[in-house]
Amino acid sequence: MSPSPAPAEADGGPAPSGRFRRGRPARGGRRRRTGAPLPLLLPALVGVCFLLLPLLALLIRAPWRDLPDQLTSAQVWQALRLSLLSATAATAVSLVLGVPLAWLLARTEFPGRGLLRALVTLPLVLPPVVGGVALLLALGRNGVAGRWLDEWFGITLPFTTTGVVLAEAFVAMPFLVISVEGTLRAADPRYEEAAATLGASRFTAFRRVTLPLIAPGVLAGAVLAWARALGEFGATITFAGNFPGRTQTMPLAVYLALQNDPAAAIALSLVLLAVSIAVLAGLRDRWLTAS
């Protein structure tokens, strides 16, 4: 479980602040330069230690000498490849479905919009295992909808890579929707209105005006979703099972390795840690160039 929230939380911090900075530049300028009072400084430092110590421990306890052997094993590469592949596919699914959904939530008025918004962001707070059980009951071979998929098309989703992608998209898409919706709300709708007065259809305005306008937000949301998908564990193991090369992603490999080969688990965790740091660094860079 532990690997899944880590990247999301790490990314969750800079995401909104970056957005706000772009949206409301005044806020970034209001910076106080007074010395920190002790009652604030002390808990803050404890907080820093609490967040960084586990990561440091990972580095300290890492089997550096065996690391090359651990990381070049076929199973690690298989898991890493599958993780990158499925996280990217899940992000693509999230983009295709999530951006229109975010637009719908931000730009149109209809009864029950608030409720819909709450419902589609539910997977953000839902324990991933619950998500996995729900997916199984909906899309499993014997599931509410999955039964018909199986009967009509002979498609079964559990135990397949597609199942992994679906589990990851289920958990990651809300991150993208929230991020894009926020950007859309911050973007000035008058540009779209201007495009409309010039004769552009609503879809053309969205494609030619809105989308380029919110591109940085979409990108940030996509990276967030990708990182969340990469760390996804609970829904994946529940819905897609665990088979090396097909459904065993890195977090699953870490969890199972921990039971009989802790050194391998640490090595795998280091890889995920490195990827997470790379994502953060990449995100930072993008934002700097974008703003």
Partner 1 sequence: MIRTSRRARRRMLAGVGVAAVLVTAGACSSDSGGSDDASASGGGPAKPSGTVTVFAAASLQESFTALGKKFEKEYPGTKVTFNFGGSDSLAAGITEGAPADVFASASPKTMKTVTDAGDAAGTPSTFVRNRLEIAALPGNPDRIASLKDLTRPGLKVVLCAKTVPCGAAAQTALEASGLKLTPVSYEQDVKSALTKVELKEADAAIVYRTDVKAAGDKVEGVEFPESAEAVNDCPIVSLKHAGNTAGAKAFIALVKSAAGQKVMTTSGFLSP
Q: Which positions lie near partner 1, rule CB under 8 A?
A: 136-137, 140-142, 156, 158-159, 237, 240-244, 247-248, 255-256, 258-260, 262
Q: Nearest distance from residue 155's CB to partner 1, in Å?
A: 13
Rounded Cα distance, 241 and 54, in Å? 28
Neighbours of 243 (CB within 10 A): 13
Q: Nearest distance from residue 74's CB to partner 1, in Å?
A: 16
> Closer to partner 1 at the Cβ: 97 or 258?
258
Do residues 79 and 161 lie in contact, with contact meaning Cβ atoms separated by under 8 Å?
A: no
> Closer to partner 1 at the Cβ: 3 or 221?
3
* Radius of gyration, alpha carbons of the chain: 21
> Closer to partner 1 at the Cβ: 142 or 201?
142
Structure token pair of residue 236: 């994946």
Which of these, 163, 145, 139, 149, lies nearest to 90 by C-alpha position?
163
Residues 6+ apart with CB under 8 A from 73: 264
Q: Nearest distance from residue 76's CB to partner 1, in Å?
A: 16
Do residues 156 and 148 lie in contact, with contact meaning Cβ atoms separated by under 8 Å?
A: no
Q: Nearest distance from residue 236's CB to partner 1, in Å?
A: 11
> Closer to partner 1 at the Cβ: 98 or 132?
132
